[in-house]
Structure 1
Amino acid sequence: ERFNENGWNYADHFLNPFLEALKTIGVRPRIVKNLASYQTGMFSECSKIACDNADKIREIIERVSGRELSDSWFPWSPLDSSGSLEGVTVTGYDFPLVHFIDSKGNKGSSDITKGEGKLPWRIDWPAKWAWIGVTCEAFGKDHGASGGSYDTGKEICQLFGYDAPQPLVYEWISLKGKGAMSSSSGNTIGPMEALELVPPEILRFLIAESKPSKAIEFDAGMSLVNLADEYERSCARNLTLELSDDSLSRRRKVQLEDLMGAVRLSSIERNSKSDSSNVSFRHLALLAQTKSNDQLVWDSLGLNSSNPPSSILIDRLEKMRTWIESPHFPEEMRIKIINDAPIEMLQNFSDDEKLVLANLTEMLENCSWDLDSIASCIVDSAKSIEKSPRIAYGVSYICLMGAKKGPRLAPILVELNQREIVNQFRLCLENVN
């Protein structure tokens, strides 16, 4: 419907979400649309040079790329009467017209000054360098390979009277376990989908901390947690002070300078302070799963009307809840407290496990509900009968989560209601006797 009624096209369908994602991460490029540029004559001069020098360009492409072009090849691809570039064969050229015959045998002419066609990719690219005035071009390693698009482009660019821009070749971004991202193969995660899960400053940090020649493996699981926590730790450091240490080795100074640059480039707004939430991803993931609403999260963090959460933290919590509901959230961090007794698992408890459960239930009921006290209760419930704390943790996971293992327990329990936890243990105790 949008294609027919709103002038929507194939490029808009893919470009607009990408531009929206760029805006979200603080990148606001100047957009030069190819179709409009052809139609307004911006390519006219380069197109004429290309058509006038068809033999020279053919020689460059065949020599540099090592592939042979067909006899019907021409450095202009006309649009046929149905608006297609496919199946069109050039039959002649008389500036500004390129004459052709389409796949149905219809003859026609394409005016290169009015955008009634386009230059083939290997010529279109250097033509843009020339008329836009590009001085540095970043591109994937496939275009930078020997005999690739850049190698042919830098020679063709000379015909347009322009020196090729400085190249910046970058590695591909891969999805963990799935290989290189590729829109043609469907192996990709959409930019807006990624930004629903990952704070924009963390995505920027992922790119900024990596050298262009290093392949990036995007993982929306545990690697994201580690990356986000690394970013928070880096923002909390006084890197300027660390760099002032005269005893640092040159290698260490370079590492600190690179990290300082990565943190600075991660900021959404230019010259602004680092976009840190001051709450680790791990802790926020825990709170988002143990607190039923945002206000309870803020209460746990000691935030209130006089010390409200920052806009960054509010956004991060929203993304965290989306991430938890997605298939990308790591299972080892998923928290699900049960409210019934896992009868089958309890029936397999040994006498030692039953004793530990009885001890733990009593100790938790009478302990101060803080992190250290809870951790001590778990350990002491087993040590009191001269058994390994591993038994106590196993008993706890079975009673609370219906599983034999899970995430760190004490930080989870301290965020939950003491009475409800003790009641759950008592329910399990009743079902093992």
Structure 2
Amino acid sequence: MAVRGSRPRHPTAQRRTKRTVAQSTSTEAQDWVSRYADDVIAESERRAPGKPVVVASGLSPSGPIHLGNLREVMTPHLVADEIRRRGYEVRHLISWDDFDRYRKVPAGVPGTDESWAEHIGKPLTSVPAPAGSPYPNWAEHFKAAMTEALAALGVEFDGISQTAQYTSGVYREQILHAMRHRADIDAILAQYRTRKAPPKQAQKQQKPADESELAAAEGSGAAGEDDGSGGAGGYYPYKPFCGECGKDLTTVTAYDDETTELTYTCTLDGFTETVRLTEFNRGKLVWKVDWPMRWAYEGVVFEPSGVDHSSPGSSFQVGGQIVGIFGGEQPIGPMYAFVGISGMAKMSSSKGGVPTPLDALEIMEPQILRWLYARRRPNQSFKIAFDQEIQRLYDEWDKLAAKVADGSALAADVAAYRRAVGTAAGELPRTERPLPYRTLASVADVTAGDEAQTLRILSELDPEDPVTDLAVVRPRLDKAEAWISTHVPAESRTVVRSEPDTETLAALDEQGRESIRLLLDGLGEHWSLDGLTHLVYGVPKVQAGFPAEAGPKELPPEIKTAQRSFFALLYHLLVGRDTGPRLPTLLLAVGEERVRRLLGG
């Protein structure tokens, strides 16, 4: 293989390259995505003028591919999409590391049990799929879910199966080259094998600050794989899968550069075999050599790496030196931080129970999920809400949309918004009439998915512009219903009383009876979301001698206490609890006639 002479870039030397005339010049576009796009275009033109810009991601389908792993894809996707918007041809490669070894049986995967442990050490594509799966093997089963999610998110990519690459002999020359230069590779790796581990304090600083964070770097697959050292016959950067048991528990004992004959022994069953690497396809380069080999082979200009690749001896740092052996250069690429999940303990995809992109897309629209990854720089951690915080997140999104529409949003926020709602290929499908998520969730909570009831309530939210067809509030309505049904515990769901609480009604004092009377008297006139909001907040004001329209600055602090007491009374009489969905939405959901009956009117 011809090797082009080049000096590999040091991994920390990710300097800004000279900006080109192709870069975006508007202030609005100069968010982190645009800045990386500027650098990638310039670097691509330096390395391979006139050729497509190549960015890359790597995912290991060793189990459910989680939302931390998604950052491995979204970071280059957003940069690639910006470059496409500027008129360049871009390839976003996703290497499916499906020729990685099966390390353990992930917990919590339906259709599996302890018997899957017998496949540990085999390639992921040689492991049976979970029972009942329509897919031919373990890797394809988990790739399918991620592929579906990426399609919904508008991510355009070229998928590369590493099983297909290795078993078809695509990398044959690269493997032979690595074996010829094994002493050079070993010398680079040896620099790090003798280094002391970083001090404990430094190690702590590398860990996520919050235990709810997901290790995004696991998406790269084999970060913990050995580097090929330890063989009795010397160093070999290649590991065969055993011809007898199919596992990678093998040790290379001899290799002849002239004949390419390689001898290995399986440490599990003692099987020994001599093969010719010019013909043999049942093995792969070890991870710390495999990754930089691919950088050179594919001409990758941009690829991010997780925090586990930042320490001395990590595959990204070592790869920055090994890539030169293959005639390539290390990609530009930021280290990306962790992704957290509200209310969840830190998990990896091998431990089970960790949310995937499809899980998130069940409860939120693709635009919202894209926005979460677009609005934060790669080195900033953030959380994805599966709890009540999702309602606040949607409120924030809707406020941003309004600001973008009226021109009052900050430039960086506008850029993130536009990257969220669409790609260079066009806008993603969106909800025609995006009612507040918390309102839809409250309606879904009370109606339990009854479409007739849902339409009745939504039609009364704004009598001047009623919802007449649920299609206009979908898919947001569907997401809110899914959140209620899958993430709100049964004991927290709202159940409206079937009969009045006569005991509580009879025990009301004069002030309590008066507050109920004022509410009932105003129901007909105020039967809309805004009207009922005005009414329920206004009753305690009127009782205290103030106009219902009085603002906070005109009212004494005691009014807030009176409002809380009044709200608690209404919740108790309507749903038997002290809290519940927002009262105006709850009243609409219950319906005027039933509200009057439950409140004794």
Superposed displacement of residue 205, structure 1: 0.8
Superposed displacement of residue 176, structure 1: 2.2
Residues 264 and 110 (structure 1 numbering): CA distance in 2 closer, same or farther, change over 3 Å?
farther
Residues 329 and 154 (structure 1 numbering): CA distance in 2 closer, same or farther, change over 3 Å?
farther
Cα distance in structure 1, aligned partners of 2:176 and 2:407 = 58
Cα distance in structure 1, aligned partners of 2:171 and 2:406 = 48
- 1:401 corresponds to 2:566: no
From 44, 56, 64, the equivalent of 2:192 is: 64
- 1:38 corresponds to 2:196: no
Residues 342 and 58 (structure 1 numbering): CA distance in 2 closer, same or farther, change over 3 Å?
farther
- 1:82 corresponds to 2:82: no
Cα distance in structure 2, aligned partners of 1:267 and 1:363 = 45
Quote the residue 1:251 is aligned against.
none
Other structure's SS at 1:414 match: helix
Provide the alpha-carbon RMSD of the alignment. 3.3
Residues 7 and 414 (structure 1 numbering): CA distance in 2 closer, same or farther, change over 3 Å?
closer
For each residue in 1:272-327, what CA deviation from the matched residue of structure 2 results, as whole angstroms up to 9, or x when unmatched?
Answer: 3574643221222233335531543663462347xx844xx322211211111012
- 1:340 corresponds to 2:499: yes
Q: Retained in 1: the 8 A contact 2:441–2:483?
A: no
Residues 288 and 278 (structure 1 numbering): CA distance in 2 closer, same or farther, change over 3 Å?
same
- 1:185 corresponds to 2:344: no
- 1:423 corresponds to 2:423: no
Q: Which runs of 5+ in 1 are unaligned?
A: 244-255
TM-score for the superposition, normalised by structure 1:
0.83
RCO higher in structure (CA 8 A, sep ≥6): 2
Letter in 2 for 1:279: L
Letter in 1 for 2:517: N
Q: For this pair of structures, how many residues does the alignment match?
A: 409
Quote the residue 1:15 is aligned against.
143
Superposed displacement of residue 17, structure 1: 0.9
Superposed displacement of residue 215, structure 1: 0.9
More helix by share: 1
Cα distance in structure 2, aligned partners of 1:404 and 1:185 = 38
From 301, 317, 321, the equivalent of 2:477 is: 317
- 1:216 corresponds to 2:382: yes
From 230, 253, 266, the equivalent of 1:91 is: 253
Q: Retained in 1: the 8 A contact 2:176–2:277?
A: yes
Residues 87 and 278 (structure 1 numbering): CA distance in 2 closer, same or farther, change over 3 Å?
closer
- Sequence identity percentage: 24
Q: Retained in 2: the 8 A contact 1:200–1:268?
A: no
Cα distance in structure 2, aligned partners of 1:7 and 1:355 = 64
Residues 397 and 317 (structure 1 numbering): CA distance in 2 closer, same or farther, change over 3 Å?
same
Cα distance in structure 2, aligned partners of 1:303 and 1:347 = 35
Other structure's SS at 1:109 match: strand
Superposed displacement of residue 221, structure 1: 1.7
Residues 395 and 350 (structure 1 numbering): CA distance in 2 closer, same or farther, change over 3 Å?
same
Please say which of residues 275-284 and 26-35 is displaced more in the overlay. 275-284
For each residue in 1:235-268, what CA deviation from the matched residue of structure 2 results, as whole angstroms up to 9, or x when unmatched?
Answer: 232469447xxxxxxxxxxxx2221121111124
- 1:150 corresponds to 2:150: no
Quote the residue 1:390 is aligned against.
564
Q: Retained in 1: the 8 A contact 2:240–2:248?
A: no
TM-score for the superposition, normalised by structure 2:
0.61
Q: Retained in 2: the 8 A contact 1:367–1:377?
A: no
- 1:267 corresponds to 2:433: no
Cα distance in structure 2, aligned partners of 1:223 and 1:168 = 29
Residues 116 and 365 (structure 1 numbering): CA distance in 2 closer, same or farther, change over 3 Å?
closer
Q: Retained in 2: the 8 A contact 1:337–1:401?
A: yes
For each residue in 1:29-66, what CA deviation from the matched residue of structure 2 results, as whole angstroms up to 9, or x when unmatched?
Answer: 10011011012222112211211122221221231354
For each residue in 1:331-370, what CA deviation from the matched residue of structure 2 results, as whole angstroms up to 9, or x when unmatched?
Answer: 98x54322234578x3995635653465357535665424
